[in-house]
Amino acid sequence: MKPPEHHVYFAVFGFGDDPAVVTQAMGIEPTEAWVKGEPTGRRRGIRTHSRWVLQSALALVEPIEDHFEDLLPQLECRRDAVADVRTRFEARLAVAAYWRELNPSFRLSAEIVRRVAALGLDVVFDLYCLGGAGDAS
């Protein structure tokens, strides 16, 4: 069975057509950034929105909480920049998890939740259960 994939990242939207505005405000280069209307690189897809992303540097198979432990210090040392970006644009933390089992779970410690709350960020979870052992499909 393929291992799970966990993506944990800080995302900024609504900055217009120049990701450099966010890069300058944050004082760090994004993991990736794109502008609405650019090709996605997949067939003939076109980006439907602009996004600036700072992603955890851990391998995708690492637990979700470990990804938060990797990403949060990068944001905490830029607390004022995060607050500025949050007020000027739409900013949030995001988790995209792809599991190949029927009943996956994960936990976030109270300390992780406290640290995220101290940054004033919402967290969006996109969770995909792709089946696995015992799957009837």
Give residue-wise pLDDT tens across range 41-77: 777 788 889 999 999 999 999 999 999 999 999 999 9
In this structure, are residues 126 and 95 in contact, taking their beta carbons and an 8 Å threshold? yes
The contacts of residue 25 (CB under 8 Å, 6+ apart) are 81, 84, 85, 88
Give residue-wise pLDDT tens across range 81-134: 999 999 999 999 999 999 988 888 899 999 999 999 999 999 999 999 987 655
pLDDT at 132: 62
pLDDT score of 137 more than 50: no
In this structure, are residues 98 and 130 in contact, taking their beta carbons and an 8 Å threshold? yes
The contacts of residue 48 (CB under 8 Å, 6+ apart) are 36
Phi/psi zone of residue 22: left (φ > 0), alpha (ψ -120 to 50 degrees), beta? Answer: alpha
Burial (CB < 10 A; 0-12, 13-18, 19+), residue 68, is: buried
Q: Which two tokens stand for residue 53?
A: 């992303």
pLDDT at 72: 99
pTM of the model: 0.89
